Amino acid sequence: MSDSILVVNAGSSSIKFKLYGIDDTDLMPLLSGGMSGIGSAPLLTVKDASGAVLEERHLEASDVPDVSAAQHHLADWFTHHHGTESIIAVGHRVVHGGPAFAEPVLIDDAVLRTLETFIPLAPLHQLGNLDPIRVLRQRRPDLPQVACFDTAFHRGHPELTDRFALPRFLHDEGVRRYGFHGLSYEYVAGRLRDLAPETADGRVLVAHLGSGASLCALKEGQSQETTMSFTALDGVPMGTRCGALDPGAVLHLIEHKGMTPAEVGHMLYHESGLLGLSGLSNDVRTLLASDRPEAALAVAFFCRRVAQAAAALAVTLGGLDAFVFTAGIGENAPEIRRRIVADLGWAGLILSNDANRSGVARLDAPGSRAQIWIIPTDEECMIARHTMRLPGRTAPGATA
């Protein structure tokens, strides 16, 4: 059996995985799937490379109360149905690398302890990211595991970009703008270079619009600035997260509404964004289909804030050569794309309505001052590439 790399992308209530075979320096998708609805309505799904369903099984919520339990179930499936002998390394998406990690790293005890200190910076994600690492270390302590960070792509920003207007000692302690969705932006930057190499070296804005959402300004394929910062709360509004917020509002909630920091945190991460604005749903599809004015307001708010963020990032770039949509909303919601580009009409962006409705890769109409693209993201592929390239990993042909 040929060597393979397993990629684990864990969140707070789901785990996704992909298994890639290694053929010289190429990666070939073999299996994909995961566990959704952890703690409420767990569903185990496994598909082969063609998308055919190999396993689809509902489990009891009590059997899968958390991400650790879900990882055990997935590991059991691999052991009984596929085997694990071919897996030479596991790559993990880890949201926050803090000031310590600017590139992927092999995980050992010291690395894991450091990553645990960043849980308060990304409470919605970091704990879930680390749980599968612990489970696999228990089950396969000999198996190399690699942490790939959503923050790493944004490291190297100039000090002007990374600082808050706070006392300098806080920056020295790590209170700075980090940025997220870096694995997605790195993948999209590479794909744009394949599709339009002359454009990829120019001034590019990428909008990663999904349940979590952010924008990134790229020049020569490198991150210059991004909308998320110290945590994944900042920037544009998201499914359940508030996005940019006057810090005085947080002080008001604590000092005058009597809310505890934990209660405020829960509200900002889980009850705000599209869900909070609409009182209906965090799903753009539901909101677009609704005739309720609150749903319309939430959609309009989201589109306007994305366009405003794009305008601000264009200042950093000194202009705009291309605008790229990616992630669930960006790839699949033509009405959202239409509204955002309409709000950027002042910058000379013109959308082809036919191309937008059909969802082809290139969306700009003749006369547009900047190209407009849809580029599907693939964070798992990016993680697999990093895991395969990392010096010191188990070489192809070795047995883990």
Positions annotated as catalytic residues are 150
Tokens 């994909």 correspond to what residue?
32
Distance in angstroms (rounded) separating the CA atoms of residues 1 and 136:
21
Phi, psi of 287 (to 5 degrees): -70, -40
Cα diameter, the chain: 63
What dihedral do alpha carbons 167, 223, 346, 300 form, nearest 10°?
-70
In the sheet that holds 371-374, the strands lie side by side as 222-226, 213-219, 203-209, 322-326, 371-374
Distance in angstroms (rounded) separating the CA atoms of residues 5 and 89:
5
Q: Compute how many other C-beta atoms are within 10 angstroms of the C-beta atom of residue 215.
A: 25
Distance in angstroms (rounded) separating the CA atoms of residues 212 and 354:
28
| Cα-based angle 101, 104, 105 (whole degrees, multiple of 5) | 80
- Whether the CB-CB separation of 152 and 94 falls below 8 Å is answered with no
Tokens 């997220």 correspond to what residue?
180
Distance in angstroms (rounded) separating the CA atoms of residues 371 and 374:
10
DSSP strand pairing (53-58 vs 105-106): unpaired
- Return the CA Rg of the chain: 21
Angle between helix 67-77 and 126-139 (nearest 10) = 40
Cβ-based neighbours of 186, under 8 Å, separated by 6 or more: 153, 382
DSSP strand pairing (213-219 vs 222-226): antiparallel
